[in-house]
Amino acid sequence: MNDSLTLDTAEASRNENVETAREASSIELHGLHKRFGRHTVALNGVDLTIEAGEFFTLLGPSGCGKTTLLRILAGLEEADDGRLAIGGKDITEVPPHKRSVNTVFQSYALFPHLSVRENLAFGLKMRGLPPVEREARVAKIAEFIKLGDLVARRIDQLSGGQRQRIALARALVNEPDVLLLDEPLSALDAGLRSQLQVELLRVQKRLGMTFVFVTHDQQEAMVMSDRIAVLNGGVIQQVGPPREVYEHPVNAFVARFMGHDNLYPITARQGNRLTTPLGELVADQAGEGDLLLIRPETLDLLPGEVAGDNHLLAVVNERLYRGSHAEYRLEVGAGTLQATLNNRGRHLPEVGDRVTVTVAPDDLVTLSE
Amino acid sequence: MRKRTLKRGLTAFWWFTLAFLYLPLAVVVLFSFNASNSAASFTGISLRWYTRLMGNEEILSAFANSMILAISSSMIALGIGCLIGYGMYRHRQRKLGWLIVLIYLPIVLPDIVFGISEMAFFVQVHRLTGLLQPGLITMIIAHVTFQIPFVALIVYSRFVGLDPTLFEAAKDLYASPTKRVIHFMLPTIKPALISAFFLSFTLSVDDFVISFFTAGPESATLPIYIWGAIKKGVSPEINAIAALMIGAVAVAAVISLMFSRRRPA
């Protein structure tokens, strides 16, 4: 297939989309509470503003409330308390079939009694669009998502990845104010998953539509998102762009959830000089917190014993060679430390080597439990 | 060697079982084509008993009654059973074991108990209100009563087999409650509905006991007619009726089975 040609037509259909679609919509949530039964608190006071045209991700472990929040946006669940507005209009009481919001479900939820084409046209038909217009819009979206001859197939003739794309097209064809995605890639294998991540991101950027994406995978969240909200126990822990959430987590939960293991209690401090089980370290931005975060990739290993500020003596306990980089587990002072070293052809210390760990003062982050 | 003997034995047993089940039916069908009057000997092929059937007013009226009864009771049972099946699905999370037992009960209850109860009930209602004189109406009510559980269970199991997210997808894609029924639920359970209808139909056509207790003087169905006619002696005409009924029920049962197996992925 001629790639530039398809890109051009996709671009053209995008422009038409922009003509017919409304402006991208913002989302405002105020004081959302939701309980299931007496004891399960799903959301405990969520306030959040999602900007128009943003790729926004709700990230957290299972049971953190992210899916409940998405379902409240879709109208499939009613909040016990709080308000919800999309595009400045309060829709707290509006039933799901009257909301200009569409969802890509985790199980895809394609109707088995309908063909792919009928699935794509379902929302338009329910809104009473005449058949001619339905067909035109379905054809347009099929071209935009590059569905090709999938449109003529039956649902049971589709693979997982194909179902995922049909589910996406079925939601997008309605040109909703907001698109909601409930772990849409979690059922796919790793290769297909990263391919569809890129595709999804491209679609969102071209349409400029507001996407709210739910995932428990922090890697996926970082790749896709303009901003991430990390949830735990029905409460938003932190909201920010991926770099901010990864590099400056506000508490231990966010840090651990973003994949950080090197967290150490600060037992004493003198100005910027922090005492930890590893030894004494100097941090540029020594905030209030009582925990020190050291990211493995900010560390460097020098052979032998070198003295200086932020130079710690260590013994290599374990080395995992991964080709592009190597992961180290080091014994430092009264603790262990993980370090990641890029493989730039230099010497990679081996297990049992005595080394010196160094870290720049501005790479150290303090946070509270 | 022993394995082969065993296999042959099992095959023989299979054919024996089939013969046991279907030989009596085959005999009836065969003798319905018998040229002679006698049930003792087969003298040649003829359609005379079938043509005789067509001239017998009593049989034609019994046939008409059977059809009216089977079709109308199946339609009514389909409507009510469908709603019950959906209700059972919607509230499946609650502890409804006792309700399920209540719905199963008519299936396992002996027909004779069921028939007598229905009769006693209709007699009381008739005595008190003057309504529900024994006849087609009472038979339809009785048949609907024993058909409903079958319909409800077929519809229920179809709903249980669906991805529950589909209901939410329909809501999400702008379908109002009415449109969800018309464009999602009914088309999705259509195979189950067709299957349930034909099952109800065969149950109704087959039924003798419950019909017998709830029928009036004018509302004899084919099984009731056969019962009455046999008391005067078995005529080859009865074989012809039986052969036709076997054919009709077999067709309905096959349709029911086809649709109960066909489930969209």
Q: What percent of chain A has pLDDT over 90?
A: 75
Interface test with A, best of B173, B176, B184, B262 (most A CBs within 10 A): B173
Q: Quick one: pLDDT at residue A15? A: 44
Q: Are the C-beta atoms of residues B122 and B132 closer than 8 Å to each other?
A: yes
Chain A residues touching residue B175 (CB < 8 angstroms): 97, 122, 126
Spell out which chain A residues touch chain B, with contact meaning CB-CB distance below 8 angstroms.
74-76, 95-98, 101-103, 105-107, 109-114, 122-123, 125-127, 154-156, 170, 174
Which token pair is B196?
A: 């349930």
How would residue A27 be classed by pLDDT, with cut points 50, 70 and 90?
very high
Whole-number Å distance between alpha carbons of B236 and A352? 101
Confidence check: pLDDT of A34 > 70: yes
DSSP string, B206-240: H--HHHHHH--TT---HHHHHHHHHHT---HHHHH
Residues 6+ apart with CB under 8 A from A112: A155, A156, B162, B166, B188, B264, B265
Whole-number Å distance between alpha carbons of B197 and B79? 10
Token pair 């349409």: residue: A207
Identify which of A142-156, B34-48, B247-261 has the greatest average pLDDT.
A142-156
When pLDDT is averaged across residues A29-35 and rounded to a whole number, the result is: 95
- pLDDT tens per residue across span B155-199: 999 999 999 999 999 999 999 999 999 999 999 999 999 999 999
Confidence check: pLDDT of A152 > 50: yes
Shortest Cα–Cα distance, A49 to chain B (Å): 22
Burial class (CB in 10 A: 0-12, 13-18, 19+), A363: middle
Confidence check: pLDDT of A99 > 90: yes
Shortest Cα–Cα distance, B95 to chain A (Å): 16
pTM: 0.82
One-letter identity of residue A344: R
Whole-number Å distance between alpha carbons of A272 and B27? 103
Q: Quick one: pLDDT at residue B262? A: 59
Shortest Cα–Cα distance, A68 to chain B (Å): 14
Nearest to B165 among A96, A105, A170 (CB): A105
Q: Quick one: pLDDT at residue B32? A: 87
Confidence check: pLDDT of B55 > 50: yes
Ranges of each domain in chain B: 57-261
Q: Do B171 and A105 touch (CB under 8 A)?
A: no
- pLDDT tens per residue across span A301-325: 999 899 889 999 999 999 999 999 9
Domains (range + CATH), chain A: 3-100+176-256 (3.40.50.300), 261-367 (2.40.50.140)
Confidence check: pLDDT of B126 > 80: yes
When pLDDT is averaged across residues A166-170 and rounded to a whole number, the result is: 95
When pLDDT is averaged across residues A109-123 and rounded to a whole number, the result is: 94
Which token pair is B202?
A: 């065969």
Burial class (CB in 10 A: 0-12, 13-18, 19+), A302: middle
Which token pair is A334?
A: 């009264």
Burial class (CB in 10 A: 0-12, 13-18, 19+), B246: middle
Task: Report domain B57-261's class.
Answer: mainly alpha
CA distances from A156 to A148, A150, B126, B265 (A): 17, 12, 55, 5
Confidence check: pLDDT of B134 > 50: yes
ipTM: 0.83
Chain B residues touching residue A122 (CB < 8 angstroms): 170, 173, 175, 183
Q: Do A126 and B179 touch (CB under 8 A)?
A: yes
* Residue A60: how many other CB atoms lie within 10 Å: 29
Instruction: State whether residue B182 sits within 8 Å of chain A by CB.
Output: no
Residues 6+ apart with CB under 8 A from A59: A66, A215, A216, A218, A221, A228, A229, A230, A231, A257
Chain A residues touching residue B163 (CB < 8 angstroms): 107, 109
When pLDDT is averaged across residues B88-97 and rounded to a whole number, the result is: 80
When pLDDT is averaged across residues A361-367 and rounded to a whole number, the result is: 92
Confidence check: pLDDT of A103 > 80: yes
When pLDDT is averaged across residues B113-133 and rounded to a whole number, the result is: 91
Shortest Cα–Cα distance, B178 to chain A (Å): 11
Instruction: State whether residue B186 sits within 8 Å of chain A by CB.
Output: no
Confidence check: pLDDT of A9 > 50: no
Helix B48-55 × helix B236-261 angle, to 10°? 90
Confidence check: pLDDT of A14 > 50: no
Q: Quick one: pLDDT at residue A22? A: 55
Check residues A20 and A288 and name the one with the higher pLDDT: A288
Look at A198-212, A227-241, A277-291 and tell me which has the smallest mean pLDDT.
Answer: A277-291
Question: Counting one residue from A and one from B, how many pairs have CB atoms under 8 Å apart?
Answer: 74
Instruction: Using the CB atoms, write b or e for B56-91: b if 16+ within 10 Å.
Output: eeebeebbebbbebbbbbbebbbeebbebbbebbee
Q: Quick one: pLDDT at residue B1? A: 63
